[in-house]
Structure 1
């Protein structure tokens, strides 16, 4: 798998000083988490899921979630489960690439049931998305995932979604997040990334921001994202990749998505949940490391741990510090491996337009 692989080779040479690296579907979770990119959500009721997954792969989608939870009605669950199994078995039998596939379940018991129903085709699944995740209900989901993976000798990764009322409400937030952190630590090898359910957060207050605004313009949403990153996204080895919340608008004007994804990155998030292929070029263009970011990161990491204090960057427009900026530089190189480093005069618009014109 490789980001921007859908572009012609000559176009990749024009756009990138260092192209994205290829990574395997079985790569370590740290590599996969950074490389998720724009994760496209689809309801489990879609009748042509197998076709959709192959089409999305050709567009450059590297991760997709099939939803059996909020995206479908309560009365549709049984039919959706049967449809998901049939479509994934069809997809597994076809030649051609598909994205990393995850299923968002409602209940822990759906995890073993779906894997059992897929049988030998379970290899099509990379893991499960776990909704409304808290320290109280999360253990049942993670135990079901670990037990199912062991029984079927098939590795499965979890993406818990932090979106419950216990997290959005101030009086219970820190205790709940601390409990989630302790629970995830017990299952670290199975945790791919933490996802944010901003729609559920907003629902607790009857809020919905429009397409010209971002989650960071809504105080209670920005506040909870800050605390999630604080407790679950630390760069000291205890944290996890935290992905950006869903962009839920189909509007052709994507300025809001541009701003929100840029703010995601600035706030320590990487990757994003999206609901339409037109979102993909924007998110992936912003994930690419700029030539300046890469130069700064390399200057900092060349110190090999030596404390040389502060120096002017090679661009002469900022200060780089050997110790405080090291974790940032390491994250930049991880993102560069997944999404590449843009050529010197290539910007976000160039990268977006290259994807939309292919």
Structure 2
């Protein structure tokens, strides 16, 4: 997969590079971008993927959890297995198709369902999969999720990654939040090389209080939820995890709509606060999200400057560059630039 390959290369100072699930983790964890969630029951996913209908999408998640009902799980599992099987044989017959395939993840329903479903997965399926999303991830089920995935990896000799989703009610309570996050962090540090992103459930957090943000407000305006998200960022960002931003629930095919304006506003707040990547629920959100992740030319040149020195201060692009405090920021900018590219100094993407 390669972002923006249909765009004029003259727009870029540095063009995006291709990636697969076999790319180095330090690059791949920034490649998720707009992650499109789709119900596992949706029966046209295979055709959409091979016809490249999801243009510029770098990752998708086939969902076995909240997007379907309990009595649909069996049908959704069968559908997902068929999609993976069909993709394997289509890719074998037409290798060029692999160049446009996004990273594919499955959001399992819970540990019990994941364990049973894992017994149906073979190397054919796993060669297409990049990994799994673990819903309601907490200190009690976290090790179980990774244990099941590790068994699959060992048995079938395939690379697989996990993306834990923090959305449990215990994280919303001030009484249990810090202790629970501390225990979760211990689990994640033990499996750090297997984690691409940590994901957060803004909708689930909001539901604890019976809240739903309106189209005029970002998740950062919903203070009880924003407070929890801030604690998560404080806990995991210093450990060099990538944390994806919560879903924006509004969509529109009109680029000048209030829905798209709100998404852009929240994306910029995501980046300023330390989130990178975003769960999306509609194809109209794909380009809006991914274009926001193209690295600014001045950020790129300042990051290169910071990483070129062992210490001290230098003049950047109308700002001060300090080698020590800006080092971690600069590393993220360079890693991001490899996946999303660097826009030329005098260019804009509409």
Using structure 1 for the length normalisation, give the TM-score: 0.90
How many residues align? The count is 337
The question of 1:92 aligning with 2:88 is answered yes
The CA distance in 1 between the partners of 2:54 and 2:174, in whole Å, is: 43
How far residue 119 of structure 1 moved from its aligned partner, in angstroms, is 2.5
* Equivalent position of 1:119 in the other structure: 122
* Equivalent position of 2:179 in the other structure: 175
1:2-21 to 2 correspondences below 5 Å: 2-5=2-5, 7-8=6-7, 11=8, 13-21=9-17
The CA distance in 2 between the partners of 1:148 and 1:109, in whole Å, is: 15
1:233-272 to 2 correspondences below 5 Å: 233-234=237-238, 238-251=239-252, 252=254, 253=257, 254-272=260-278
The question of 1:61 aligning with 2:65 is answered no
Greater Cα offset, 266-275 or 87-96: 87-96
How far residue 22 of structure 1 moved from its aligned partner, in angstroms, is 2.0
The question of 1:34 aligning with 2:30 is answered yes
RMSD of aligned Cα (Å)? 1.6
Structure 2 gap segments, 5+ residues each:
92-96
SS at match of 2:204: helix
How far residue 93 of structure 1 moved from its aligned partner, in angstroms, is 1.4
The CA distance in 2 between the partners of 1:33 and 1:137, in whole Å, is: 23
1:175-324 to 2 correspondences below 5 Å: 175-234=179-238, 238-251=239-252, 252=254, 253=257, 254-303=260-309, 305=310, 307-308=311-312, 310-313=313-316, 315=317, 317-324=318-325
Counterpart among 110, 113, 128 of residue 107 in structure 1: 110
Contact 1:312 1:318 in 2 (8 A): yes
The CA distance in 2 between the partners of 1:324 and 1:197, in whole Å, is: 30
Greater Cα offset, 114-123 or 78-87: 114-123
Could you list the per-position Cα deviations for residues 100-151 of structure 1 after superposition, in whole angstroms to 9, with x for gaps in the alignment?
1100001224445444434242211111100000111111111111112111
How far residue 220 of structure 1 moved from its aligned partner, in angstroms, is 1.4
Contact 1:134 1:180 in 2 (8 A): yes
How far residue 24 of structure 1 moved from its aligned partner, in angstroms, is 3.0
The question of 1:331 aligning with 2:302 is answered no
The question of 1:75 aligning with 2:56 is answered no
How far residue 282 of structure 1 moved from its aligned partner, in angstroms, is 1.2
Could you list the per-position Cα deviations for residues 21-56 of structure 1 after superposition, in whole angstroms to 9, with x for gaps in the alignment?
222321122221101111110000101221133345
The CA distance in 2 between the partners of 1:247 and 1:257, in whole Å, is: 6
The CA distance in 2 between the partners of 1:39 and 1:258, in whole Å, is: 16
Cα distance change on mapping 1:57 and 1:102 into 2, 3 Å: farther
Structure 1 gap segments, 5+ residues each:
354-358
Q: Which runs of 4+ in 1 moved over 6 A?
A: none
SS at match of 1:149: helix
The CA distance in 1 between the partners of 2:45 and 2:292, in whole Å, is: 28
The CA distance in 1 between the partners of 2:161 and 2:112, in whole Å, is: 16
The CA distance in 2 between the partners of 1:111 and 1:297, in whole Å, is: 41
Counterpart among 18, 21, 27 of residue 22 in structure 1: 18
Cα distance change on mapping 1:200 and 1:256 into 2, 3 Å: same
The CA distance in 1 between the partners of 2:52 and 2:183, in whole Å, is: 37
The CA distance in 2 between the partners of 1:197 and 1:56, in whole Å, is: 28
SS at match of 2:226: helix
Contact 1:214 1:259 in 2 (8 A): yes
